């Protein structure tokens, strides 16, 4: 018996990195996965691997900058698998540049994907959770949502905004039995952080960076926390980084 048997989980950014690791781990624990993202080839490959391992994951096309695409993806997940029990807003983008050199277009792209996207995903999914008086949402943030980093101004602003959004969402949905978490990792070995590692002169496979699998395990912990104790935000830092900063 799996930890998430029969639970329907919608994951954004499911084709690679943290999202892919979450899909694989959650499916192995019996969840039914709506694997959402832009690259259908990547999603098909992930879902095929899940099926080969005996799990179930459905690839769903999603453009987080399109409200129509978001609504359609949520509806497709429900039609294929049933009402959504867990929503994991994982997808995100980053750009490295000083604030004064960041274009308005880049700023808008990051805000649209990292903040507006999760907002609209919740608008599409939360009403059903409220009706059923159950549900869980994990918004994947970052240490960049807790402090500032040079050359990451737009990304930091978006992740700080996601924290504020999550706080209010938790307040407004608590009486409906909905659990809202933030999962905020530091440096993770993903495609998203490749340019950052190169910028810092760190190796492509540095053992000091977290893995996507470690983040997926943290997400699993949040999704199996059902008692009186509750974790609003789970922060993961690299062990090699400065403690308590």
The catalytic residue positions are: 155
Task: Give the integer Cα–Cα distance in Å for 97 and 50.
Answer: 37
pLDDT for 242 equals 87
**Predicted TM-score (pTM) of this structure:** 0.94
Task: Report the residue count for the chain.
Answer: 245
Kindly tell me if the per-residue pLDDT of 204 is higher than 70. no
Indicate if the alpha-carbon torsion angle 110, 112, 113, 114 is positive or negative. positive
Residue 203 CB neighbour total at 10 angstroms: 10
The mean pLDDT of 187-193, rounded to a whole number, is 71
Of 201-205, 219-223, 238-242, give the lowest mean pLDDT range: 201-205
Helix (H, G, I), strand (E, B) or coil at 245: coil
Task: Give the integer Cα–Cα distance in Å for 82 and 125.
Answer: 12
Element (H, E) at 35: strand 32-37
**Beta bridge mates, 236:** 185
Kindly tell me if the per-residue pLDDT of 197 is higher than 70. no
Q: Which tops the pLDDT comparison, 209 or 121?
A: 121
Distances in Å between the Cα of 140 and the Cα atoms of 51, 70, 97, 224 are 25, 17, 22, 17
Kindly tell me if the per-residue pLDDT of 15 is higher than 70. yes
CA atoms within 13 A of residue 155's CA, in its CB half-sphere:
22
Task: Give the integer Cα–Cα distance in Å for 15 and 129.
Answer: 25
Kindly tell me if the per-residue pLDDT of 206 is higher than 70. no
Helical pair 117-132 and 67-81, crossing angle rounded to 10 deg? 40
Please name each of the domains of the chain with its CATH number: 8-236 (3.40.50.720)
Supply 7's token pair: 């639970």
Distances in Å between the Cα of 190 and the Cα atoms of 13, 79, 177, 197 are 12, 31, 33, 10
Instruction: List CB contacts of 37: < 8 A, sequence separation 6 or more.
Output: 12, 13, 14, 15, 16, 19, 43, 60, 61, 62, 91
**Beta bridge mates, 9:** 33, 86
3-state percent helix, strand, coil for the chain, nearest multiple of 5? 50, 20, 35
């Amino acid at each position: 018996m799996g930890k998430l048997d029969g639970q329907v989980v919608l994951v954004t950014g499911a084709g690679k990195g943290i999202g892919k690791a979450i899909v694989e781990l959650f499916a192995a624990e019996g969840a039914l996965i709506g694997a959402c993202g832009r690259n259908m080839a990547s999603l098909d490959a992930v879902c095929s691997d899940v099926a080969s391992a005996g799990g179930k994951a459905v690839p769903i096309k999603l453009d987080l900058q399109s409200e129509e695409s978001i609504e359609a993806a949520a509806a497709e997940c429900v039609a294929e698998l049933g009402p959504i029990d867990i929503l994991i807003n994982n997808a995100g983008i980053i750009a490295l540049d000083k604030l004064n050199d960041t274009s308005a277009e880049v700023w808008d792209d990051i805000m649209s994907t990292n903040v507006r996207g999760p907002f609209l995903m919740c608008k599409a999914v939360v009403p059903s959770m409220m009706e059923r008086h159950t549900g869980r949402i994990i918004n994947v943030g970052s240490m960049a949502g807790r402090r500032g980093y040079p050359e990451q101004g737009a990304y930091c602003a978006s992740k700080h905004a996601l924290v504020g959004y999550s706080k209010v969402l938790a307040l407004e949905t608590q009486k409906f039995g909905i659990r809202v978490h933030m999962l905020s990792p530091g440096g993770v070995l993903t495609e998203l952080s490749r340019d950052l590692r190169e910028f810092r002169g760190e190796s492509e496979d540095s053992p000091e960076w977290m893995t996507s699998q470690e983040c997926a395990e943290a997400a699993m912990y949040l999704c199996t926390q059902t008692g009186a104790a509750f974790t609003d935000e789970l922060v993961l830092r690299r062990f090699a980084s400065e403690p308590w900063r």
